[in-house]
Each structure stands twice: as C-alpha cells, then as structure tokens.
Amino acid sequence: MASASRGQWSGKTGFILAAAGSAIGLGNIWRFPYTAGENGGGAFVLLYLGFVLVVGIPVVLAELAIGRQTQKNPVGAFKALVPNTLWPYIGGLGVLTGFGILSFYAVLAGWTLSYLWGAITGVYGGVMTAEASNDLFTQLIGNPGLSIGLTGAFLLLTIVVVKGGVSKGIERTTKVLMPLLLAILVLLAIRSVTLPGGMEGLVYLFQPDFSKITGSVVMSALGQALFSLSLGMGAMITYGSYFPKEENLPQAGILVAMFDTMIALLAGIIIFPALFSVGVDPSAGPGLVFVVLPSIFGSLPAGQFFAIAFYSLLAIAALTSTISLLEVVVAYFVDEKDWNRSRAAWIIGGLCFLVAIPSALSSGGAEMFSTNFMGTGMDFLSLNNIIWGNFSLSIGALMLCLFVGWKWGIPAALVSLESSGHKLAGPSLLGVAIKFICPLAVSIVLIYIIVTQQYF
C-alpha cells in the first residue's frame, strides 16, 4: 500500500530515465571538465574511471537495494532496517548534504538560464573570442542581483516539479529530453575534435601523466565519481524506493552508471579540444565550460540554433538533478514528519534559496564570499562544492558500504536487488567490493587527505 500512495516509476525505463536525469547534470558538463582541467587531465580521468568502477557501481547497487527494500527516504530507510541505532544519522547526513549541494548547484544552474537567454537574444551563437566570452561571464557572475535572481528562478522551477510528485513531475520531464541531450553532445563533440589544434585537447584528456597525481587529485577523482553518479547521500535510496518490485534493478542501476560516465567523457571530448583550439588555460577553474563553449557555436553553421538547443538542454539536465536533490529532503519531511508534499517543497526550497545567497555572491558579487572566504583560499561556492560534494559524499559512501557489508549484510542486499527474479551477474564480486574494496579505498583517500592536509 505504501508504494501506491508514495508514487512509483511507471516501469524500468521510467526509473532509468529519472535516475539518469539525476545523475546527468552540471556534474558531467561543468564539474567534470573543470576538475579534470585543474587536476592535470589524463591521470585524473583514469582515477575517476577507476572510482566509478570500483566504488561507484557497488555503491549504486547498495543504495538501490536499501531503497527498494524499505521504500523510504534515507533516514526512514535506516530506521526501518536497524531501528534504535545510530545508523539513521547517516541518512540524516545525507539529507543535509542534499540541501548543501542544492544550495550551490542552484547558483550554477541559474547561470545556464542566463546563457539560454543570451543564446535566444543572439549574444551567444555567433563568432566570439575567448576574451569576449570571459568578459561576459565575469559580468554575469559578478552581478549580485542577477545571480541571486537566477538562483531563485531555478529553485522555483525545481519546487514546481517536485511539488507535482514522483512519476508525474520527474519522469515526464526526462523522457524526451535525455536522448536529445545525447544527440546534441555527440554533434558538438564531432565539431570540437575537428577544430584546428583540437587533438592536443584529446591528448591532455586521455594521456595520463602519473607525476600529476597527488592526494588532492585522488580525492577530487573520488568526489567526482560520487557526485556525478548522485551517490553518497541517499538520492539513489530515494529513487530506488519508487522502483517497481517486478523489474530488473541491478541492470537498471548499471545502465545508469554507464550512461552517466559516457556523458561526462563526451563533455570532456567537447571542452578540451575547444579550449586548446581557442587558447584557454585548462586549469581556469569553475568558469571553464561557460567561457569555452560560446566559442564553439560560432564555428558551427546555424550556431545560434545549436546554442539555444544546447543551453536549453543543459538547463533541463541541471533541473532533473536539482529535482533529485530537493526530492531527497522533501521525501524525508513527507515520510518522517508527515508534511504534505507541496508544503515541504515550498518551505525547503525557500530555505535553500536563503542559504544559496552567499554562494550566489561568491563570484565577485560580495567581496567577503569571493576569492578567499575565511582564509580557506577559495570562494564560498567552491568551498561548499568541496565540503558537500567531495567530503560529505565520501563519508556517506563509506558508511553506506560499512552498513550494507557488515550490518545489514550482503545476502539481504542481494535479496532486495534480485527480488524481481533477475539475477545479478557476479554477486560475490559485489560482496567483496562492498565489504572490503570500497571501504578501504575511500578510507585510505580520506585518511591521506586529513594527514597530509592537502586541501586547505
């Protein structure tokens, strides 16, 4: 009964689209290229791929298993499986992390709206030098009123969808648009690699230089793998909770992970050739994608058309991700505190807007939040990106593996994963990964970072 009143995906395809919608977003198209650029390219990419395989896929399956079994939000799920323990606090950390990520993600998502508007009005789409593009970008992000307004607008869109509920709101938005996004990315990738000097970009992206690997590079690669797959905070617990009993869950989870990784690589194949071609520094930081992309459209026939199509799809990809972030927090208040969905969406979305304001002011809008926030050497938004998007997700993923591997147990997780009768290929491999490999890998990275204090 619970499932009927909470809502459910219409089927496996509905789930794959919604979960892929959550996973695919600015993490792939904005965060992956700039983090790869800052961390030296190929070696980072290799580490990232390794973490997707070794940590990402097992954790996807672990989260989905918990979600399908309990049909609850992250806190409720732990309460249902192990009542009267401290484990539900791990779910609580996840809910908080979702809120934290949403508070800076919405700022970047707001930028995509401005780029969309610029494409429609003809600012982007024609020939543009990297300097001109950089000037426009700096103006945009440094304008306090505009940044705050765009953040609010994006959160408003998110609230409206989440308010509508799981299958109606979320599924419908994703169904048509994901394939379109893929198509336009492939097209841009072809254009980019054929730009003069583009090959150099591919070499940077795919040829590992192992001397570039440091503790913080490894940490960033782990954080990126988790962030991109929407893992470590219970988003997949929540999405798995709406998964129909009779469908093949392991297969759906693995497909989502593969699809997400492919889109990130595709984004890299677009950005790096283009940036070498127009002469932008790969380690330019968070603005990288926003500065580089406008220069590609001008070199395409019907550039304005492609610019409009691309920025609308990017905004939608961001929206299907912010939906999943807000959904986790809303599901918690709906399930655990008996709030009505619409009220929860408005209150939490509104609060998130207030918390997002310093992030919106952190790229020049207010000196205090920009550049060197409280002596950390970075701006407020970047700091949040690292705290929630790298550390909190890593701790969440670690605890999740410890929980499934050592408390709940692999056999129970397998029962949940295989409850439709579809068997998982290599169940003992999954057991070894969740019990030993993931916790060890994540702990080593975390301990190394803490001991060497490479971050701040």
- Residues binding ligand TRP (CB under 6 A): 22-23, 25-28, 101, 227-228, 230, 233, 235, 321, 324-325, 393
Rounded to a whole number of angstroms, the minimum distance from the CB of residue 133 to ligand TRP is 22
Rounded to a whole number of angstroms, the minimum distance from the CB of residue 434 to ligand TRP is 19
Indicate the residue among 177 and 233 with the shorter CB distance to ligand TRP: 233
Indicate the residue among 69 and 158 with the shorter CB distance to ligand TRP: 158
CA dist 217 to 39, 208, 224, 455, Å? Answer: 6, 13, 10, 10
Indicate the residue among 156 and 300 with the shorter CB distance to ligand TRP: 156
- The answer to whether 163 and 169 have CB atoms below 8 angstroms apart is yes
Rounded to a whole number of angstroms, the minimum distance from the CB of residue 325 to ligand TRP is 5
Rounded to a whole number of angstroms, the minimum distance from the CB of residue 74 to ligand TRP is 11
Indicate the residue among 55 and 278 with the shorter CB distance to ligand TRP: 55
Half-sphere exposure of 283 (CA within 13 A, CB side): 6
Indicate the residue among 151 and 230 with the shorter CB distance to ligand TRP: 230
Indicate the residue among 130 and 318 with the shorter CB distance to ligand TRP: 318
- Kindly report the length of the chain: 456
Rounded to a whole number of angstroms, the minimum distance from the CB of residue 170 to ligand TRP is 12
The rounded distance, in Å, linking the Cα atoms of 192 and 366 is 36
- Show Cβ contacts of residue 46 under 8 Å, excluding neighbours closer than 6 positions: 208
Rounded to a whole number of angstroms, the minimum distance from the CB of residue 41 to ligand TRP is 20
Nearest to 107 by CA among 37, 30, 163: 30
Rounded to a whole number of angstroms, the minimum distance from the CB of residue 240 to ligand TRP is 13
Query: Among all residues, whose Cβ is closest to ligand TRP?
Result: 27
Indicate the residue among 22 and 192 with the shorter CB distance to ligand TRP: 22
Indicate the residue among 231 and 296 with the shorter CB distance to ligand TRP: 231
Indicate the residue among 327 and 379 with the shorter CB distance to ligand TRP: 327
CA-based end-to-end distance of the chain: 49
